[in-house]
Amino acid sequence: MIETIDQVAADIKSRLQDGAKRRKSALHTPVVGTADGHLRVMVLREFDPETHTLRFHTDARSPKCAAISQDPAVSVLAYDAEAKVQIRMRGVGRVESHGPVAEAAWLASTTFARRCYLAESAPSSLAGQPVSGLPDWAEGITPTEDDVAPARDNFAVLLVKVEKFDWLYLANTGHRRAQITPQSGGYSGEWLVP
């Protein structure tokens, strides 16, 4: 059982890094909330433990990008049902469509993943019928680099700099809860009543 704040911080780091690397990790698809009250499941692509930053991929035309430009407050909720560990995060989001982080993320993605950003209309646009939004020619294929080149204009990364982690472990013997606050060169932490 985790008994120290250092162990809590290490557990958060380990779980988030694993969530970014492994598709089958329970923390691979956390819930991301924006200040407008909207929630969505997103794929965690990276967690940088030095800067306490989460990275997600998104369509630059999506409503969440507009919401973050109005108010950058972002919350993230991840839960591992098997381990009985919940991690709630509050932080500041920013969307980058250009620059080295967005470009590296784009280049590291497969053409199949990049295909998602070929959607002809912005996410949340009315469709009138069930559609993927993709052009007909892109349905169900793995496109070439040339095929997905136009999609680059729609691709962006959502970076969430976490300002507060709230860690909760559910146990029959007694729950445990702690709060971790990143600081320059480390963090501070305190135990909370679950």
Summarize the confidence of residues 31-54 as an average pLDDT: 97
∠ CA 9-73-42, rounded to 5° = 70
User: What's the pLDDT at 155?
Assistant: 98
Total count of domains within the chain: 1
Gyration radius from the chain CA atoms: 18
**Backbone phi, psi, residue 9, to 5°:** -60, -40
Distance CA 113, CA 58 (A): 11
Domain of 136, in residue numbers = 5-192
pLDDT at 184 over 90: no
Residue 1: pLDDT band (50, 70, 90) is: confident
| Planar angle of CA 161, 167, 169, nearest 5 degrees | 155
Please state, as a whole number, how many other Cβ atoms lie within 10 Å of the Cβ of residue 27: 23
CATH of the domain at 33: 2.30.110.10
Cα(53)–Cα(103) distance, integer angstroms: 17
Strand partners for 89: 76, 165
User: Residue 33: pLDDT above 90?
Assistant: yes
Which residue carries 């349905």 as its tokens? 139
> Which tens digits make up the pLDDT trace of 77-102?
999 999 999 999 999 999 999 999 99
